[in-house]
Amino acid sequence: MNKKIQLQDLGNKDYKETWDYQEQLFKQIVDIKLEKRNNSNLETPNHFLFVEHPHVYTLGKSGDISNLLLSEKQLEAKGATFYKINRGGDITYHGPGQIVGYPILDLENFFTDIHKYLRLLEEAIILTLAEYNIVGTRSEGETGVWLDVGTPFARKICAMGVRASRWVTMHGFALNVNADLGYFDNIIPCGIRGKAVTSLHVELGKKINEQEVKEKIIKHFQNLFEAEFLIS
């Protein structure tokens, strides 16, 4: 089992370009897995991409387009794009000031349990938030990381949506760090009405060092997955 993960920070990159790149890495892993049937000595690689996207709304395969509250012209006026994509979950927003992480892993290198995978993704964010004295929690039946669950002030700070096939993952999480939360007003986030979104900079009242947040996420991800990151 290969528990090494190749880390790449793509900087600010177009959503469609990044999605295509994810698909390329995903296919490479799946192809190697198919070859392994004839050559058990082959190892599958693992990847982890950090990226920040220009303003974009994405709708998961089971999502409801009515949760996007903008027309094509309004999207254009806001400098935003829209894609219907092949992850789970409903609609979400990505944009500047948000840390997006895409683990493209062969889970057979770690464990074969999608439920556990999602819970560990959440745990990596929960532990990262704890370093800023923010108590992140799970909300039953709602993937992602929330604050003040069970109160009238419940708000989401990190959205998650993944795709997995042949135990290979893609897509991932989006943590609001310094994001402009006004863009969330144009959707019903994750299809959940009546709950707000928040970010680290809103909760702490100051701009946050995004590189520092990434380093904390990497640290906790490595520990939880018993993995080793290789920086390219």
Identify the CA nearest to 164 among candidates 116, 128, 224: 116
Amino acid identity for residue 231 in this structure:
I
Catalytic residue among 125, 190, 197, 217: 190
- Please name which of 115, 147, 114 lies closest in space to residue 129, comparing C-alpha atoms: 147
158 is catalytic: no
Cα torsion through 18, 158, 205, 55, rounded to 10: 30
Residue 122 to residue 138: CA distance in whole angstroms: 8
The alpha carbon torsion through 157, 175, 224, 89 (nearest 10 deg) reads 80
Query: Are β-strands 155-165 and 196-197 bridged in parallel, bridged antiparallel, or unpaired?
Result: parallel
The backbone torsions φ and ψ at residue 46, rounded to the nearest 5 degrees and listed phi first, read: -130, 145
Q: How far apart are CA 231 and CA 222, in angstroms?
A: 13
As annotated, the active-site residues are: 190
